Amino acid sequence: MLSFPRSMLQLPLMVNFMDEIGIDEGALSMDFLRLVFEELVDPEKNDLFRYVNDLDKTHSPVWFRKDCEDSELAEICGLLFAFSLHNKAIVPLPFPQLLYAKLLGKGPNSNMEEAAELDKEFADQMCELRTGTEDYVMECCYGGEVKLEDGRSVEVTTENIDLYVDNRVREYLVPSQFAAFKQGFNRVFNPAAFDMFRPIELEALVIGEKYFDWKALEQSTQYIQPYKDSHPTIKMFWKVFHALDDDMKRKFLVFVAGSDRVPVGGLGNLGLHIDPLQVPMDDSVDEQPCDNEDRLTLLMPEGHGCDNHGYRRTLRLPMYTSLELMEDRLTVALSYYDCPFHIS
C-alpha cells in the first residue's frame, strides 16, 4: 500500500469476507477496518504502541513506544488511519487527543493539557518550568542546554525556557515514529485538507461522538409496516433494549452498524430502521413440521449495516409475542455481535 498513488488510496474500499454472504455498502468495510485496528494498536500483539496506563489497560489510550524502530509499520498505521477516515468508517481507536493535535500541527498546546493525557506528572513539570522564576529554572535545568535555530547551544534561562520545554516535549513524544505515522496519513490526504479543523473535531470524525444518547436512538428509529412506534412488538423491543447494560447496548450497535461508535451528530444520526422478519411459510427453519408459533420462537433477529450504501442500519425483528421471548432471542443474537456479517 505504501507504493500506491494517492488517487488509488482515495478509491472507495470494497470488502468481501471469505465464505460470508454480503455486499459491501459500508458496514463490511467498517467491520474490516475495526478488526484490523484491534490487532494493529494492541500493545500485546505488536511493538509499535504502549499502554499509557498499565493499571487500566481496558480504558487506557495507547501511544508510540520509544524503543520501536519499525517506521514502516508506523507509516502503514497512519495510512490505514487516514484510509478509514476517507471511507467514513468510524472505528474505535484508543489514541489520545494529542495525536489529532499533532496531525493538525496544533499541539501540544502551551498549557500541556494534551500532553497530560500521556503523562500528567511530566506535563505539570513542563508547565512549572514555563512559569518558574530564574532561580527555579536554574535549579531544575542546571547544566542543561538548549539548541537555538542557528545551531548554537546555550545555557537554559527564563528567556529561552519555552524553546527548551518545546524541545523536551517533542523528544518525549517520540518524533520519529509519529513522523512516519503522519507521513502515512498524508499519503491519503493533502496536509492542508484539515487546516480548519480543531483536534476535537478531527477526533469526532474518526471515532465518533463520546456520548451515548439511547433515547435519541429510539426517537430517530424508523419502521417498516406493520411496525410503528406503538406496535406491541416494538414497545417490547425498546423495553428490553433499555434494560440492557451499556456493554450489551454497544454490542447492539456493532450488530446493526458494524461499529460501537456514535456517528457525528449523535445516535440520532445512526439511521436505524426496524423491519419485520416474517415467519417462513415452509419447514426450512426446522427438519420437523411445526406451527407458526413454534417457527416464531426459532427465528433470530438479524442485523444489516449494508443498506443504502451504509447510511441505513437495519434490524430485522421477528414479531415476538412475549417479553421473555424477546429478551432471550435478542440476547442470544447479540452474543454474535462480533461476526463480520450478521444474519441468522
Catalytic site positions? 306
Q: From the CB of residue 49, how many other CB atoms can be counted at a distance below 10 Å?
A: 24
| Residues ≥6 apart with Cβ < 8 Å to 264 | 204, 205, 208, 209
Ramachandran quadrant class, 101 (left: phi over 0; alpha: psi -120 to 50; beta: rest): alpha
Other C-beta atoms within 10 Å of 154: how many? Answer: 13
DSSP 180: H
Sequence-distant (6+) residues with CB within 8 A of 292 are: 279
Query: Which of 69, 34, 33 minimizes the C-alpha distance to 48?
Result: 69
Which residue is associated with the grid cell 500521556?
118
Beta strands 145-147; 153-155: pairing state:
antiparallel
Residue 102 has a CB neighbour count (10 Å cut-off) of: 21
> What is the CB neighbour count within 10 angstroms for residue 135?
9
Main-chain phi, psi angles of 152, to 5 degrees = -75, 150
Q: What is 55-117 written as a DSSP string? A: T-TTT--EEE-TT---HHHHHHHHHHHHHHHHTT--------HHHHHHHTT--S-TT-TTGGG
What backbone torsions phi and psi does residue 76 show, to the nearest 5 degrees? -60, -40
